[in-house]
């Protein structure tokens, strides 16, 4: 149960008919990675409306770390359904919101007193983290990184780096946002090499205060501990420690955006734990809700209390169903062995990917932390020219052969692994076989083309 089963050509007739309807009814701005329509899902597999079964290496873009329809999560949602659906926590509060906040305050890095605000989406949580940082510091500037992704609402989009397609046509964006290079060692902005660079990109923050914005005008630096949409880039271990020390010397808050890297994805509950850092504010979402929309801003109590009464909130923010689901997700991490899975899933991927690297010269880099693994594809290892078309062909081959994968990266040339952590080893292997065949097929096509050109 759960392995790939294809009954029709992909997409099947029912999915094709739905695509026609979607085209007429839904704006083209909402893209979709695959044209297959889901009928049901469980653990790490999806079944489409034509009865085809796929392995899911995308997990709803990292929202399903605990697996599709995890029974503990479903049962918590069902109990909540039987009690009440919505009252709005700003009108008549409920215990599950308070309990979830208490638990997040407890499990996020840092032993200091904390408070938590619940929201609906990652972007909304990022917006609120910035509001809170500005209210606390009385400063307006925010420094974000190149290749960062923080969401699609206006402030989040201002913080997001990639221009096309995210920002095209939507300017102007909120002001007082500054951007500096991330520790993307494979494509170092300063053409340096770690460790001889002495993590120059982190130390360069001091220079930013002279050339871009005065430190006294900066409320916060915001960063993803591992780049998500930017291509699963893992900075050197000391990078964030240096950035945070510089921030704190100047009274600047450090906001960690763990929307994609959180809740076990990297082998620890939060990726910040790998670096031994305790952010002033931590933003979470995606897998927190076990499949339901929920986000959180957790931070030092005195910072979180900076906005006045009534300054924070949202009608559905921290809704009862999502709180019930999230409390169940935390139960699963607390009581089960879920945190032992990311490393074995990640190792399984990494081992195969390293072996592919010796066979397929299209693979420029293999990297990741825990189960947050990726391969970066290039036209040439010497020039490191990105290979976005080949990347698209690989994901196309994958879904046509029963594996859902998604890309990432500023140059759209990264294939990332966001598989539910509950995937059994043999299903993982089956998915990796498809990915290997996809790589082989695209590399073979490249060779044939090159031979035809030289003839
Ligand atoms: C690191 C990060 N921050 C923020 C967001 C935005 O989250 P949402 O799509 O829930 O608004 C995302 C979404 O991919 C993300 O990866």
Cβ(126)–Cβ(151) below 8 Å: yes
**pTM to 2 decimal places:** 0.97
**What pLDDT is recorded for position 385?**
98
Separation in Å, CA 378 to CA 299, 384, 434: 40, 5, 20
Q: Which stretches within 292-387 are classed as H helix?
A: 301-304, 320-335, 341-359
Examine the pLDDT at 453 and tell me if it is beyond 80: no
**Which atom of ligand 1 is nearest to 293's Cα?**
10
Could you give the CA distance from residue 153 to residue 199 in angstroms, rounded to a whole number? 32
Task: Output the CA angle 160-389-179, nearest 5 degrees.
Answer: 20
Give me ligand 1 centre to Cα 50, in Å. 31
Examine the pLDDT at 452 and tell me if it is beyond 90: no
**What pLDDT is recorded for position 448?**
84
425's enclosing H/E stretch is helix 425-454
Going by C-alpha positions, the residue among 65, 101, 36 that lies closest to residue 282 is: 101
Residues in the chain: 455
Question: How does the average pLDDT of the chain come out, rounded?
Answer: 97
Q: What are the two backbone dihedrals, phi and then psi, of residue 185, each rounded to the nearest 5 degrees?
A: -60, -35
Nearest protein Cα to ligand 1, atom 3 = 150
**Which atom of ligand 1 is nearest to 258's Cα?**
1
Rounded to 10 degrees, what is the CA torsion of 26, 29, 34, 40? Answer: -50
Ligand 1 proximity of 162 Cβ (cutoff 6 Å): no
Ligand 1 proximity of 390 Cβ (cutoff 6 Å): no
**Which atom of ligand 1 is nearest to 260's Cα?**
16
Cβ(111)–Cβ(96) below 8 Å: no
**Which atom of ligand 1 is nearest to 285's Cα?**
10
Ligand 1 proximity of 50 Cβ (cutoff 6 Å): no
Give me ligand 1 centre to Cα 427, in Å. 27
3 state DSSP class of 237: coil
Give me ligand 1 centre to Cα 327, in Å. 21
**What pLDDT is recorded for position 248?**
98
Examine the pLDDT at 336 and tell me if it is beyond 90: no
The best mutation among 155, 285, 291 to test binding of ligand 1, ranked by most ligand atoms within 8 Å of the C-beta, falls on 285
Could you give the CA distance from residue 54 to residue 10 in angstroms, rounded to a whole number? 11
**What pLDDT is recorded for position 447?**
82
**What pLDDT is recorded for position 238?**
98
The best mutation among 147, 262, 286, 291 to test binding of ligand 1, ranked by most ligand atoms within 8 Å of the C-beta, falls on 286
* pLDDT tens digits along 77-103: 999 999 999 999 999 999 999 999 999
**Which atom of ligand 1 is nearest to 61's Cα?**
14
Examine the pLDDT at 18 and tell me if it is beyond 80: yes
* pLDDT tens digits along 142-178: 999 999 999 999 999 999 999 999 999 999 999 999 9
Instruction: Kindly tell me the sign of the dihedral angle through the C-alpha atoms of 318, 322, 327, 332.
Output: negative
**What pLDDT is recorded for position 78?**
98
* pLDDT tens digits along 437-447: 999 999 999 88
Give me ligand 1 centre to Cα 122, in Å. 5
CA 44 to chain CA centroid, nearest Å: 18
**What pLDDT is recorded for position 245?**
98
**What pLDDT is recorded for position 455?**
73
Give me ligand 1 centre to Cα 83, in Å. 30
Cβ(122)–Cβ(286) below 8 Å: yes
Going by C-alpha positions, the residue among 45, 62, 65, 63 that lies closest to residue 53 is: 45
Could you give the CA distance from residue 44 to residue 336 in angstroms, rounded to a whole number? 18
User: What is the DSSP annotation of 95-155?
Assistant: HHHHHHHHHHHHHSS-SS-EEEEEESSHHHHHHHHHHHHHHHHS--EEEEETT----SSHH
Nearest protein Cα to ligand 1, atom 7 = 122
**pLDDT band, very low/low/confident/very high, at 449 (cuts 50, 70, 90):** confident
Ligand 1 proximity of 54 Cβ (cutoff 6 Å): no
């Amino acid at each position: 149960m759960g392995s790939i089963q294809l009954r029709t050509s992909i997409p099947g007739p029912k999915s094709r008919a739905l695509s026609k309807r979607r085209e007429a009814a839904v704006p083209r701005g909402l893209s979709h990675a695959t044209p297959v329509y889901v009928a049901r899902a469980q653990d790490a597999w999806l079944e489409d409306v034509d009865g085809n079964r796929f392995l899911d290496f995308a997990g709803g873009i990292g929202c399903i770390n605990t697996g599709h329809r995890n029974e503990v999560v479903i049962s918590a949602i069902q109990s909540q359904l039987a009690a009440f659906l919505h009252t709005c926590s700003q009108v008549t509060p409920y215990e599950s919101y308070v309990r979830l906040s208490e638990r997040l305050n407890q499990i996020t890095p840092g032993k200091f007193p904390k408070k938590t605000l619940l929201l609906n989406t990652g972007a909304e949580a990022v917006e609120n983290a910035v509001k809170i940082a500005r209210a606390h510091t009385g400063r307006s500037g925010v420094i974000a990184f190149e290749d960062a992704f923080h969401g699609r609402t206006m402030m989040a989009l201002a913080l997001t780096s990639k221009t096309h397609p995210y920002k095209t046509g939507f300017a102007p964006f909120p002001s007082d946002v500054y951007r500096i290079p991330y520790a993307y060692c494979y494509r170092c902005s300063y053409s340096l090499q770690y460790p001889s660079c002495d993590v120059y990109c982190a130390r360069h923050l001091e220079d930013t205060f002279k050339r871009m914005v005065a430190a006294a005008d900066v409320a916060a630096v915001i960063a993803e501990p591992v780049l998500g949409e930017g291509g699963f880039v893992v900075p050197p271990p000391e990078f964030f420690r240096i950035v945070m020390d510089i921030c704190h010397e100047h009274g600047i808050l450090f906001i960690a955006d763990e929307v994609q890297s959180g809740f076990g994805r990297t082998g620890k509950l939060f990726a910040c734990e790998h670096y031994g850092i305790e952010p002033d504010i931590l933003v979470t979402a995606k897998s927190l809700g076990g499949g339901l929309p929920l986000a959180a801003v957790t931070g030092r109590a005195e910072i979180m209390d900076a906005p006045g009464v009534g300054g924070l909130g949202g009608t559905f923010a921290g809704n009862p169903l999502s709180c019930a689901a999230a409390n169940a997700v935390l139960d699963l991490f607390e009581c089960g062995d879920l945190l032992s899975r990311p490393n074995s899933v990640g190792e399984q991927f990494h081992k195969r990917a390293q072996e592919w690297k010796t066979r397929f010269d299209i693979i420029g880099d293999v990297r990741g932390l825990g189960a947050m693994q990726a391969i970066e594809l290039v036209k040439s290892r010497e020039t490191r020219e990105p290979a976005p078309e080949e990347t698209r062909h690989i994901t196309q081959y994958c879904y046509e052969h029963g594996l859902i994968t998604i890309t990432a990266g500023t140059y759209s040339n990264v294939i990332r692994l966001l598989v539910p952590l509950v995937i059994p080893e043999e299903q993982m292997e089956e998915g990796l076989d498809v990915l290997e065949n996809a790589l082989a097929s695209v590399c073979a096509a490249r060779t044939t083309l090159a031979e035809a050109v030289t003839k």
